[in-house]
Amino acid sequence: MPTSRASTGVPTVRILGTHGVPANYGGFETAAENVALFLRDQGWKVIVYCQAEGRGPIVTDEWNGIERVTIPVPATGWLGTSRFDLRSIAHASRRPGLCLTFGYNTAVFNIWQRLKRIPNVINMDGIEWSRARWGKIRQAILYTNERIACVVGDTLIADHPEIEVYLRRKAPARKITMITYGAHRVESAPEAPVRALGLEPGRYFTLICRPIPENSILELVTAFSAERRGVELAVFGRYDPESDPYHRAVVAAASDEVRFVGPVYEPERIAALRLHGLGYFHGHTVGGTNPSLVEAMAAGNAVLAHDNPYNRWVAQDAALYFTTAADASEHIARLVADAGLRTQLSAAARERHAAEFTWEHVAGQYRDVLASYLERTHDDRRTLDPAR
């Protein structure tokens, strides 16, 4: 059975469940990158599994002192991800190291680690199976895998107190640890990425999210377009009004002060676009700690957020809250007119971020959870390493 330390005695962790590093896909990738870099600096050996398209052998290389294991898979979407996860888990389970898994979508494969008694810490994400966009069949698959993860995971990471409460109905409380999502504080950034999109620094709000109904995009665009604002709303993401009825409704509701600027993935560009905006609109209605909201607070954005327990706990007094398009319209008017209010919300956002959502704080909590398994395995080396 693989030990949790490499032959040199260095603690080893294998990070699974993401598209890999460097992060250029989503929140889990950003988390994996920042946790990996932190652990590297703490003297850990870190191996991150990376997904690639196509066929071919598994390739191992190094990125910023982190070992990457790149696994090509010939399929995309759910099928490709499932194949990648299966091959990643098979590879990791034959080698030294603890496992840190982001997401439970293919938790049925994590039974392998359980049978081999390899400690596996699983970040349980939000209540992913409840999202209507998946449809009934995929919801059922996700729900089943969530239940499996609650059994086979050694520690379950909840990224929000509400998720922790939810998981306690599925698994023993002793298995659950609450660790949020992080973001780097943004103090300065060039204006060039802003102007490249035809925006004027200090004259626009941002709305950055997947273009799906549960993110309240139609309500926010309708609210902003209810009257002339004298500033713009920059809506990020890939919209296809020709084929998607929801996208079509959003575009139809937009005034000429709404700009659909397309997707932006590069962290440096997004940071600049946040920093130079008047504020950020956050319409997410489900999930735990949302990365986009945390990143907005790290940039000192004045926030307008949908009123629900997830957003309330994250932003606290650093946001105005809406439930309807009419509420949102009134708050937008206040944000446009009142520079003092924007300054107040910005200061509160930075303070809240510094208290809870820095990567040093978040990654340090991951280290502590993983290190607890090193201590346990140190006391039982004969069980973990039959070569001894």
Q: Which amino acid is at 132?
A: A
Q: Is the per-residue pLDDT at 317 higher than 90?
A: yes
Q: Give the C-alpha separation, 144 to 359, whole Å.
A: 31
pLDDT at site 232: 98
3-state secondary structure of 303: strand
pLDDT in tens, 212-239: 999 999 999 999 999 999 999 999 999 9
Q: What is the per-residue pLDDT across 260-315, written as a single tens digit (0 to 9) for each?
A: 999 998 889 999 999 999 999 999 998 899 999 999 999 999 999 999 999 999 99
- pTM score of the predicted model: 0.91
Same domain, 365 and 351: no
Res 136: pLDDT? 87
pLDDT digits (tens, 9 = 90+) for 356-386: 999 999 999 999 999 999 977 544 433 333 2
Task: Return the residue matching tokens 């309500």.
Answer: 219
Judge whether residue 6 has pLDDT over 70.
no
CA 130/CA 103 separation, integer angstroms: 15
Six-digit token string for 76: 């995309």
Per-residue pLDDT of 110-142, as tens digits, reads 999 999 999 999 999 878 777 777 788 989 999
Domain at 151, CATH number:
3.40.50.2000
CA-nearest of 28, 10, 143, 35 to 85 is: 28
User: Measured on CA atoms in the order 139, 145, 149, 150, is the torsion positive or negative?
Assistant: positive
Q: Which of 365, 371, 369 is nearest to 44 (CA)?
A: 371
Instruction: Let me know whether 164 and 198 are in one domain.
Output: no
Within this chain, do residues 245 and 347 fall inside the same structural domain, yes or no? Answer: yes
Q: Read off the pLDDT band of 2 (50, 70, 90).
A: low
- Closest CA relative to residue 179, chosen from 100, 106, 117, 64: 100
Given this model, what pLDDT does residue 162 score? 96
184-204 residue pLDDT tens: 999 999 999 999 999 999 999
* Statement to judge: residues 227 and 290 lie in one domain: yes
84 alpha-carbon distance from chain centroid: 19
Cβ neighbors of 273 (< 8 A, separation 6 or more) are 193, 194, 197, 199, 206, 234, 236, 264
Distance between CA 329 and CA 325 in Å, rounded?
6
Read off the pLDDT of residues 18-69 as tens digits, 9 standing for 90 and up.
999 998 777 899 999 999 999 999 999 999 999 999 999 999 999 999 999 9
Question: Rounded mean pLDDT of 248-264?
Answer: 97
Residues 6+ apart with CB under 8 A from 235: 207, 217, 221, 250, 254, 258, 259, 260, 261
Question: How many beta carbons lie within 10 A of that of residue 283, not counting itself?
Answer: 22
* 197 contacts 325 by C-beta, under 8 angstroms: no
pLDDT given at position 24: 79
Kindly state whether residue 308 falls inside one of the protein's structural domains.
yes
Q: How far apart are CA 71 and CA 324, in angstroms?
A: 45
pLDDT at 382 (0 to 100): 31
Report the candidate in 283, 288, 286, 320 with the shortest Cα–Cα distance to residue 301.
320
Cβ within 8 Å of residue 366, ≥6 positions away: 35, 38, 39, 100, 121, 157, 179
> Is 295 part of a structural domain of the chain?
yes
Q: Residue 8: what pLDDT?
A: 60
The pLDDT score that the predictor gives to residue 155 is 98
pLDDT of 388 > 70? The answer is no
347-361 per-residue burial string, b: 16 or more CB within 10 A, e: under 16:
ebbbebbeebbbbee
- Amino acid of residue 330: E
- Both 375 and 348 in one domain: the answer is no
- What is d(CA 300, CA 315) in angstroms, rounded to the nearest whole number? 11
Residue 340 lies in a domain: yes
How many structural domains compose the chain? 2
- Looking at the structure, tell me whether residues 333 and 199 fall in a common domain: yes
- Per-residue pLDDT for 154 more than 70? yes
Residue 50: inside a domain: yes
The neighbouring-strand residues paired with 15 are: 48, 100
Write out pLDDT tens, residues 64-102: 999 999 999 998 888 899 999 999 999 999 999 999 999
- Do 330 and 364 belong together in one domain? no
The token duo for 8 is 């040199």
Asked if the structure places residue 303 within a domain, the reply is: yes
Residue 3 in any domain: the answer is no
* DSSP annotation of 255: -
Q: Decide if 182 contacts 294 (C-beta within 8 A).
A: yes
209 and 99 within one domain: no
Range of the domain at 234: 192-356
